[in-house]
Amino acid sequence: MDNTPAATFKQYPIGLGYTLWLAFIASLHGSRWQAQAQLHGNAPFSQWLDRHTQTPHGLWLHMPQVLGFVLGIVSMAGALTYSGTKPVNIWLMLGVFCALPLITMLWTVKHVLAGPHNRAQSWWVKYFNHSMIKHFGLSSPLPHTPTLAPWLMWRLQLGAASFHIAAMLTFSLILLFNDVAFGWSSTLISDPAAIHGFFNIISLPWQGLILSPSLALLEQTQFFYSQEASPSASSEHWWPHLLFALFFYGLAPRLALCVWLKHRAQRAFRLELDHNLHIQRFLRACHQVTSHNAKSTGALEANPHTSTPVLSGTSYAPTHSPTHAQTHDTEPNAVFTLPQNAHLLVWQRTLKLTGLSSKTLGTQSWQHDEQWLSQQDFNTASLKDSGMSTPIIIVVHAEQTPTAELSDLIALIKTPAQLLLLCGAAQASQLKSWQYFAREHHLTLQVASHIASGPTPPEPQL
């Protein structure tokens, strides 16, 4: 049996599996997760999930279905309120439980096909992120995950399907224990023949079971609110058409949409598991306890510049080390002089330098940073023509940890960049994780303690 993290998550249903995945990512936000991973070693990954992850309880996970079911009961009970004098207007039934759901489903399909940018800015995504921060006790949102939007949309559609199921059940129960009359009334349309063709069209899905509403039925069940109207005996012929309409234009399309969204969420989740750096970090931390014995630990302390990886705040290591990756191991107490044309991108810090402007990334939402990077033109073509070096410099601090979100932002730059690591002499042992990160993303790594923008190097305020 495969006990790797990716295989473990894939064996769960998508609803529970993705929730466990978010809990796993949240567990890596702690300060002691790496020491716990060392103790975990090569034990089955399912044991880690049981011991170190805090999953949302079942009621929270199924809250959309619960709310949808309650709203379906309340809405249908309100729509079928019958005074005994005026019949229930079938336009209300068709509008609330058929037309409106079809419009929202079309909007959902358009929203899904529009791309990840629009989905990530939706209100339910922001609310879910806020709920995750509160539930797991985090100080910042979870890293960007491409499965979040399709998974949330699928869960919301399950809630909408529960709404239609509850509405149909309530409709059947009220008709079973109450005598409800149906009719139609319109301020703008008074001729039954004008809407006869419309009802013939919408009843096509069930015409093989019962006949479509006849013109005589439309004439007999028309009523006016301005006049005293007693329900016609023919009004009882409307309920089968309404029940079929609830199914064919409400529940059935919603279930089909749920199946489609679930498939998209499963595909996105599997791709995320197969190409995710959180799992690499976790496995690297677990592997260090089995590959390091007391002898190697003593050798590492005696020679801190050995090539054996050391444990940093967050180990971020690739499964291989590209030979063409460039790393310039400058001394930690060196000063790095910025080119005059440098584009300075600072990761989750504010860097104040006289005469130089910088852009801070990672402190606002992922969508904000992604949109900003997509709109930038770093003038790389003109710089190449003039023979100048690549001016894009990403500034990080040794006390920070490489994350998947930073990796995604670097991928959006799509131009050669340098990674500048601000590191003091006491933080030299934390270089390894950033070296692995630089090799993984083919970045030139520079290490310095200060940044100079002119003759007098100012102290960066981080």
| CA-CA-CA-CA torsion sign (430, 137, 286, 7) | negative
Residue-wise pLDDT tens digits, 394-415? 888 877 777 767 777 787 776 7
Paired residues of 380 in beta bridges: none
- pLDDT of residue 73 exceeding 90, the answer is yes
Q: Does the structure show a pLDDT above 50 at 292?
A: no
Report the pLDDT value the prediction gives residue 23, as an integer from 0 to 100: 83
- pLDDT tens digits, one per residue of 160-171: 999 999 999 999
Report yes or no: 238 and 90 within 8 Å, Cβ to Cβ: yes
CA distance 221 to 233: 9
Tell whether the model's pLDDT for residue 39 goes beyond 90: no
Predicted local confidence at residue 115, as pLDDT: 62
Please state the three-class secondary structure of the chain as a single string. CCCCHHHHHHCCCHHHHHHHHHHHHHHCCCCCHHHHHHHHCCCCHHHHHHHHCCCCCHHHHCHHHHHHHHHHHHHHHHHCCCCCCCCEEHHHHHHHHHHHHHHHHHHHHHHHHHCHHHHHCCHHHHHHHHHHHHHHCCCCCCCCCCCHHHHHHHHHHHHHHHHHHHHHHHHHHHHHHCCCCEEECCCCCCCHHHHHHHHHHHCHHHCCCCCCCCHHHHHHCECCCCCCCCCCHHHHHHHHHHHHHHHHHHHHHHHHHHHHHHHHHHHHHHHHHHCCHHHHHHHHHHHHHHHCCHHHHHHHHHCCCCCCCCCCCCCCCCCCCCCCCCEECCCCCCEEECCCCCEEEEECCCCCECCECEEEECCCCHHHHHHHHHCCCCCHHHHHHCCCCCCEEEEEECCCCCCHHHHHHHHHHCCCCEEEEECCHHHHHHHHHHHHHHHHCCCEEEEECEEECCCCCCCCCC
Q: Is the pTM of this model over 0.95?
A: no
> Residue 279: is its pLDDT beyond 80?
yes
Give the lowest-confidence range in 206-210, 235-239, 299-303, 335-339.
Answer: 299-303
Which residue reads 């919603």 in tokens?
254
Strand 418-422 relative to strand 392-397, pairing: parallel
Is there a contact between 393 and 345 (Cβ–Cβ < 8 Å)?
Answer: yes
Band (416; pLDDT cuts 50, 70, 90)? confident
For residues 57-80, average pLDDT: 87
Closest CA to 410 of 319, 337, 316: 316
Cβ contact 51:24 at 8 Å: no
Q: Residue 93 and residue 244: Cα distance in Å, rounded?
A: 12
Q: From edge to edge, which strands make up the β-sheet containing 418-422?
A: 327-328, 444-448, 418-422, 392-397, 343-347, 358-361
Is residue 333 very low, low, confident or very high in pLDDT (cuts 50, 70, 90)?
Answer: low
Residue type, 387: G
Q: Give residue 455's pLDDT.
A: 47
353 in Cβ contact with 393 (< 8 Å): no
Give every CB contact of residue 429 below 8 A, 6+ residues apart in sequence.
304, 310, 312
Q: How many residues does the chain have?
A: 462
Contact yes or no for 351/460 (Cβ under 8 A): yes
Ramachandran angles phi, psi of 379, nearest 5°: 55, 40
**What's the CA gap between 11 and 91, in Å, rounded?**
46
Residue with tokens 């090569």: 42
pLDDT in tens, 122-161: 666 677 777 777 766 666 666 667 788 888 889 999 999 9
